Amino acid sequence: MSEDKQKSEVKQAQIVTYLEQQQATKFRENFLLLHVYEQAQILTELTIRQRARLYRYLTPEELGATFNAVEEEPEAVIKYFDEMTPNYAAAVLGQMYTDNAVDILAFAEKKKLVQYLRLMPTEKSAEIKEMLHYEDKTAGAIMATEFVQIVSNQTVRSGMHVLKKEAKEAEMVYYAYVVDDEEKLIGVVTLRQLLISDDDALIKDVMNDQVKAVKVDEDQEDVAKTIRDYNFLAIPVTDYDDKLIGIITVDDIIDVIDEESAEDYSGLAGVDIEDSPEDPIKAASKRLPWLITLLFLGMSTATLISHYEQLVSEASILAVFISSITGTAGNAGTQSLAVAVRRLAYKGDDNKTLLRTIITEVITGVVIGLVTGLTIFVIVGLWKHNFILGFVIGLAMMCAIIVANLAGSIIPMAMDKLGFDPAVASGPFISTLSDLTSVLIYFNIASIFLSFITGK
Amino acid sequence: MSEDKQKSEVKQAQIVTYLEQQQATKFRENFLLLHVYEQAQILTELTIRQRARLYRYLTPEELGATFNAVEEEPEAVIKYFDEMTPNYAAAVLGQMYTDNAVDILAFAEKKKLVQYLRLMPTEKSAEIKEMLHYEDKTAGAIMATEFVQIVSNQTVRSGMHVLKKEAKEAEMVYYAYVVDDEEKLIGVVTLRQLLISDDDALIKDVMNDQVKAVKVDEDQEDVAKTIRDYNFLAIPVTDYDDKLIGIITVDDIIDVIDEESAEDYSGLAGVDIEDSPEDPIKAASKRLPWLITLLFLGMSTATLISHYEQLVSEASILAVFISSITGTAGNAGTQSLAVAVRRLAYKGDDNKTLLRTIITEVITGVVIGLVTGLTIFVIVGLWKHNFILGFVIGLAMMCAIIVANLAGSIIPMAMDKLGFDPAVASGPFISTLSDLTSVLIYFNIASIFLSFITGK
């Protein structure tokens, strides 16, 4: 694999050299032989001057195919189009799959967008305009409009004929969707099924009428779940009259799964890992708002401890265990949070599931609290020869863990119910919040037993 | 969607009733109309008595298709086979896709495994035996051996003929792989390409000879990356003589992506979210080992603070800020860890990338430390009217953050270099470790400035 990689890097360097030396024919010959993913890699590594030449050497259709495979963020990709003449840019966008073109155009300046749409074929620009209206992260926003559509009283032979004709344009030719007179979706037939069916059979006799579809405004995460569960290569998208308006292919769904898992992961760490710049100043400025916010939340913990400063000065031994208690409760709360967020995403958010998750987490917290509390009771008791101190630390740790588990499970669920993304309730947030409650619990319990601890 | 779901639940309940009432024909009629994913859902919800009846009503071929779609863990699935007669069990396993059968058989008792293999057709059992040797989480372990193979001097027509013949058995009929006389992989042709090519053209003239393949022992995460980058529906697997021995399809890759992202997420939270039991006792016993380990690590922090108890009793104000400093450094370290682990997974682990990531994280830590340190300096200075105290806290926080960022980036990379999964260096571990270093830094700085803080 690594040898493979080296070879392909040498090849790519050679192709860039052809471009550099203005050898148009040699460049085209070699560049067009590459997989579009590799073409896209080259494109994104060129200098602006080299790209200008690339735009001259490739037809809009060829460059459109390359841009379909570019994986940079759309706000970065639109900049390439700004480098082209408006005519060429519109032609390239017009050759791309509609969903990809729409992603990019969503970040175009208003003026440029109008210009590009005006320069495109009417049909294409109408499709794009329509799709620009769909809300981000819904089926409509990620669907492609290039699909194969047939009718139920065609023969298999004529269905195959349609497939062949559309094979060049459609994003997915292995499923043909069957519609009625009103363009309502009524079935699906796979190319595999067509292959093994008699040529003269009617589509309606070989199609699967139990076709699964998603509505245009369905959340992309739910679409991903359906494709994953059913192992589909694509799923049709319908509007509110059940009319077929697009398809979502499995490769787009892989991107969705990546995006959503990166979001969950980012949430847990309190940092956007998908968009973490390599420039330290920029990276720091992205992470600081969250850290400073938590610092202020942390200051309430400091204020609280400050309130008990008299207590600490009377029994400075209490300070020794602050970090053990806050740390352990924070760790338990983070575990609880991770499980709750994941269960929300995979098991749905009906009230029964929510309640069961909270109850499970609290009982888990009680068990964990008991075991951890007992452990620290024994350790502190033996270490400091003071089992009353051990009892105070153990009891405080147990209560702090139960509260942390409760917070770790309730907060993401409450956020979900209030319409926020539960993953925003990050690990750092839960552990900082749990610091506060842990300290409160700890000092209150300690106050009660103060005279026993100090032995005065 | 939710209405859809209700309807399908009613339908599934009806089908179970047919089973319950021993209406074999009605049951078969309705059950077999369902998508295999829905069949699998029903199967896993039946009672043992109902399942016994199911085994009688379905042919091994039908039940094999259902089992292909069961998503439970293989160690749970093997139990179903223990309920069947050995003959029937072997027949069902023989009808499943080899990769799925192998997954399950890996958890069979030795004696049963031998029995099942003996009862299967020789060819199938030989394939399964071969695949049982591949290491977990490699291409070999997740590949299917049912693929379409053609030769380069066939015509398109005869290639289509092969495809049609294999359409019932093969896991993926949309790609046909081209091999030479020695079964070495030399090209790939998609069904789309075959459709639009002239029937009399030779395969070698229409095939793509730049075929991407993976080696049988390649890590499943790398396979997933290739399929995702190239938007393939499947990728061929070759052995060390470049012979084609299997394919990996995109639906298996989606499972891999889910599994790997769940692992990363679990690592960050220090809890296995994929396998978190709903029974609180079991859940607690899974989480406790990690928490207790960290508690002991946390005790070193307590020991350290204990060492400075004299200092705290002289300046109890110091205790007030312990949790602010450990908390903020822990949060920064967690962010750093998340970014480093992700960059390792996506950008590779060559030394250049590693070094660059560490340098970036440390500089980011310096910037974050400066800003956060300044903030707390001002807050503490104003709040406690003691800017020297503010300076001590600010300086300690800055140093603690830099060390936490260094640990957050170096530890996962060191684990990767040593051959461990970097995701094991969990968030809780980094923040507990950072508690220790933060306290050490804090009290050392505080000792130096002690006389200024207390004003004595």
Question: Which CATH number characterizes residue A243's domain?
Answer: 3.10.580.10
A271 occurs within a structural domain: no
Residue A275 pLDDT exceeds 50: yes
> What per-residue confidence (pLDDT) applies to A419?
75
Residues A288 and A419 both lie in one domain: yes
B263 occurs within a structural domain: no
The model's pLDDT over B16-58, given as tens digits with 9 standing for 90+, comes to 999 999 999 999 999 998 999 999 999 999 999 999 999 999 9
Nearest CA-CA distance, residue A301 and chain B, Å: 7
Parent domain of A398: 280-454
CB neighbours of B275 closer than 8 A, spacing ≥ 6?
B73, B286
Residues A158 and A36 both lie in one domain: no
A270 occurs within a structural domain: no
Residues A168 and A80 both lie in one domain: no
Q: At what angle do helices B60-68 and B36-45 cross, to 10 degrees?
A: 90
Residues B233 and B300 both lie in one domain: no
The model's pLDDT over A50-109, given as tens digits with 9 standing for 90+, comes to 999 999 999 999 999 999 999 888 888 999 999 999 999 999 999 998 889 998 998 999
A138 to chain B, any CB pair closer than 8 A? The answer is no
Burial of B373 (0-12, 13-18, 19+ CB in 10 A): buried
The structure tokens listed for A147 are: 């699909």
Please work out, in degrees rounded to the nearest 5, the angle formed at the alpha carbon of residue A422 by the alpha carbons of A421 and A425.
110
B36 occurs within a structural domain: yes
Q: What's the mean pLDDT in A267-296?
A: 82
* Rounded (10°) CA dihedral A435, A436, A437, A442: 80
Taking an 8 Å cut-off on Cβ atoms, the answer to whether B356 and A37 are in contact is no
Q: What is the DSSP letter of B226?
A: H
Residues A125 and A169 both lie in one domain: no
Residue B425 pLDDT exceeds 70: no
Taking an 8 Å cut-off on Cβ atoms, the answer to whether B375 and A168 are in contact is no
The structure tokens listed for B200 are: 């009399």
Residues B288 and B322 both lie in one domain: yes
Instruction: Annotate A73-86 with DSSP letters as a single string.
Output: -HHHHHHHHHHS-H
State ipTM.
Answer: 0.77
Instruction: State how beta strands B234-238 and A234-238 pair.
Output: unpaired
> What per-residue confidence (pLDDT) applies to B153?
92
Task: Note whether B428 and B294 are within 8 A (CB).
Answer: yes
Taking the C-alpha atoms of residue B140 and residue A313, their distance in angstroms, rounded to an integer, is: 64
> Which residues of chain A have a CB within 8 Å of the CB of B212?
35
The type of residue at B360 is: T
The model's pLDDT over B324-336, given as tens digits with 9 standing for 90+, comes to 999 999 999 988 9
Q: Which residue has the tokens 């639940």?
A: B9
Task: Note whether A260 and A422 are within 8 A (CB).
Answer: no
- Beta-bridge mates of residue B151: B179
B140 occurs within a structural domain: no
Radius of gyration of chain B (CA): 30
Residue B399 pLDDT exceeds 60: yes
Helix, strand, coil percentages for chain B (3-state, nearest 5): 70, 10, 20
B46 occurs within a structural domain: yes
> What per-residue confidence (pLDDT) applies to B234?
95
Instruction: State how beta strands B175-179 and B244-249 pair.
Output: unpaired
> What per-residue confidence (pLDDT) applies to A425?
60
Nearest to A427 by CA among A292, A345, A336, A293: A336
The structure tokens listed for B363 are: 């500089």
Burial of A118 (0-12, 13-18, 19+ CB in 10 A): exposed
- The CATH number given to whatever domain includes residue A26 is 1.25.60.10
The half-sphere exposure of A233 on its side-chain side, counting CA atoms within 13 A, is 22
Task: Note whether B269 and A431 are within 8 A (CB).
Answer: no
Instruction: State how beta strands A175-179 and A185-190 pair.
Output: antiparallel
Band of pLDDT at residue B363, cut at 50, 70 and 90: very high
Nearest CA-CA distance, residue B119 and chain A, Å: 30
Residues B122 and B153 both lie in one domain: no
C-alpha separations of B231 from A70, A253, B144, B234 in Å: 12, 11, 19, 9
Please tell me the total count of domains within chain B. 3
CB neighbours of A402 closer than 8 A, spacing ≥ 6?
A362, A365, A366, A369
| Other beta carbons less than 10 A from residue A25's beta carbon | 9
Residue among A288, A322, A324 minimizing CB distance to B371? A288
Residues B242 and B191 both lie in one domain: yes
Residues A311 and A340 both lie in one domain: yes
Highest mean pLDDT (candidates A338-347, B142-151, B415-424): B142-151
A333 occurs within a structural domain: yes
Nearest CA-CA distance, residue A148 and chain B, Å: 13
Residues B202 and B350 both lie in one domain: no
Residue among B258, B283, B428 minimizing CB distance to A334? B428
Taking the C-alpha atoms of residue B73 and residue A292, their distance in angstroms, rounded to an integer, is: 43
Measured in degrees and rounded to the nearest 5, phi and psi for residue B275 equal -125, 45
C-alpha separations of A440 from A95, A113, A300, A307, A337 in Å: 63, 57, 11, 10, 21
| Other beta carbons less than 10 A from residue B256's beta carbon | 19
Taking the C-alpha atoms of residue B353 and residue B342, their distance in angstroms, rounded to an integer, is: 12
B173 to chain A, any CB pair closer than 8 A? The answer is yes
A33 to chain B, any CB pair closer than 8 A? The answer is yes
Residue among B254, B257, B298 minimizing CB distance to A328? B298
- Between A and B, how many CB-CB pairs are < 8 A? 335
* Rounded (10°) CA dihedral B191, A254, A207, B42: 130
Residues A128 and A213 both lie in one domain: no
Band of pLDDT at residue A1, cut at 50, 70 and 90: very low
Residues B302 and B440 both lie in one domain: yes
Instruction: Annotate B107-127 with DSSP letters as a single string.
Output: TS-HHHHHHHHHHS-HHHHHH
Taking the C-alpha atoms of residue B308 and residue B305, their distance in angstroms, rounded to an integer, is: 5
Instruction: State how beta strands A244-249 and A234-238 pair.
Output: antiparallel
- The CATH number given to whatever domain includes residue A300 is 1.10.357.20
Residue B420 pLDDT exceeds 80: no
> Which residues of chain A have a CB within 8 Å of the CB of B280?
360, 363-364, 366-367
State whether residue A155 is helix, strand or coil: strand
Task: Note whether B151 and B166 are within 8 A (CB).
Answer: no
Looking at every residue in chain B, the average pLDDT score rounds to 88
A193 occurs within a structural domain: yes
Taking the C-alpha atoms of residue A135 and residue B13, their distance in angstroms, rounded to an integer, is: 36
Measured in degrees and rounded to the nearest 5, phi and psi for residue A187 equal -175, 175
